Amino acid sequence: MTAFNLKKYFELQTIEIKNRIKQFNNKLYLEFGGKIFDDLHASRVLPGFLSDSKLQLLLKLKNEAEIVVVISANDIENNKLRGDLGIKYEDDVLRLIDNFKSYDLIVNNVVITQYQSTFRVNKLQNILSEHNINVVKHYKIDDYPNNLDLIVSKNGYGKNETIKTQKPLIVITAPGPGSGKLAVALSELYHDAINNIDSGYAKFETFPVWNLAVDHPLNLAYEAATTDLNDKNKIDPYYLKSRNKIATNYNRDIQAFPILSQIMNKIQKRNIYDSPTSMGVNMVGFCFNNEEEIKQAANKEIIRRYYQSAVAFKKGMVSKSVLIRNANLISKNNIDFSIRPCIEITNKLANQLNMNITTFTLNKNINITGKTSALLGSSSAALLNALKYLANIPKEIHLLSKEAIELVQNLKVNVFKSKNPRLHMNETLIILAMSAKSNQYAKLAYDQLKNLAGIEAHCSAILSMQDIETYNHLNINITQEPKYDNDTLYHK
């Protein structure tokens, strides 16, 4: 039994969303936060929740739902990137549409917010139009969101183009935050009200979990994941005042609620929601099988986020304040690094041997290490050693022939002009896959790859992007010490 009850979650969450649809006479605009296809954060902190569980939830609502993708013209012009995928927002719009359609989910509309006619915006518009996707233009409103009389008027939301939708559930998603999902929903509420359609709005976000304490590890893990946005968990004062109950929300939603409430009341002529928490439909907090295990997973995630911010600071990608906030989350909540034994083992061995070390912590706290050699990087060595352990292969057995490794090294150095001849993890796995055809031990090891998913790992130096991508594909929770294994200025 997993710590998180996914079956119960699907049942409760679909019921909650369907009830909210009924509340608004079968027309609900659902602002969908977070990642739909690859929510790795949720899968790490909620053992049993899968990275595509949000997609599976949408598929259970398939008959009622259609999807609207939102992108800001400003993000198109500024070449904004999705940090986890390294692709531009406009490319992610196309990726999202392709993914939705591959599951037969309806997506007919893309809204460009803050619309302006530029070469880059028009290029995206043309691509979408050629593929029969409607492009809906929403325009900038002066003094938004403060000038209520202008916003809720024909010169505010009224000048936006309307979205032609057919289904009772309109899921509004985007490549990332700041795209304008909420403004799109409010604009549609305005146009529906003009046309005497009694539609409504709700918000779907997994974190923070509203019915858990502000300092619950699951909510602290969310805070650790958003320190660059300066998000902080807080008690929702509006929920407390109206219901005399404590609920957790985050600072931006709480700060925005008074204005948001005024806009919605002006559109719909009545008070729909008494708090930002009541806008949500999140049922995650009712689906625990083992809360202690979830707390442990969340604490591991907080440590992982600390190391992630330390490496980002070393690379000059975040300010020191982000690193300090993550360090404070660990110290103030007495989180013990020993819950990830791979960290201490790696660092102790690296100091003793004066070389790069990687440690994998397998199930039942079995720790497998790998060290840098002339042939392999430490992550590749740890990977092979872990696979051998899982497949019960004797240590003295070589999974890869020295000749095959040297051929790839020759290709790297002499053809691709790489300065590092040692094999990265992806290169190691390619040779392993090719060897599996003729080497029974390589086949046994290869078949164990699936059993690495969800394990913890630590490396004594900053990894290459190649290795990080492989860790992500294998679903291994990797952390790195914030230092390079050489003194060069340029690092890939």
User: Which residue shows structure tokens 């791979």?
Assistant: 342
Give the CA dihedral 467, 100, 94, 470, nearest 10 degrees: 0
Taken in order of first residue, the domains within the chain and their CATH numbers are: 6-206 (3.10.630.10), 343-492 (3.40.140.40)
400-436 residue pLDDT tens? 998 999 888 988 889 988 888 899 999 999 999 999 9
> What's the confidence (pLDDT) of residue 38?
84
pLDDT, the chain, mean: 94
Average pLDDT (183-203) is 96
Residue 420 pLDDT: 87
The reported pLDDT for the residue numbered 69 is: 98
pLDDT tens figures, 343-357:
999 999 999 999 999
Q: Residues 309-368: pLDDT tens digits?
A: 999 999 998 999 999 999 999 999 999 999 999 999 999 999 999 999 999 999 888 999
Token couple for 454? 């969800």
Query: According to DSSP H, which parts of 34-104 are helical?
Result: 40-45, 53-60, 73-77, 89-102
Q: How far apart are CA 288 and CA 310, in angstroms?
A: 32
Cα-flanking dihedrals φ and ψ of residue 142, to 5°? -60, 140
For residues 188-217, give the mean pLDDT: 96
Per-residue confidence (pLDDT) for residue 418, from 0 to 100 = 86
> Could you give the percent of the chain with pLDDT greater than 90?
86
Peptide bond into 394 cis (omega under 30): no
Taking the C-alpha atoms of residue 380 and residue 383, their distance in angstroms, rounded to an integer, is 5
Q: How far is residue 57 CA from its own chain's centroid?
A: 16
pLDDT at residue 489 tops 60 = no
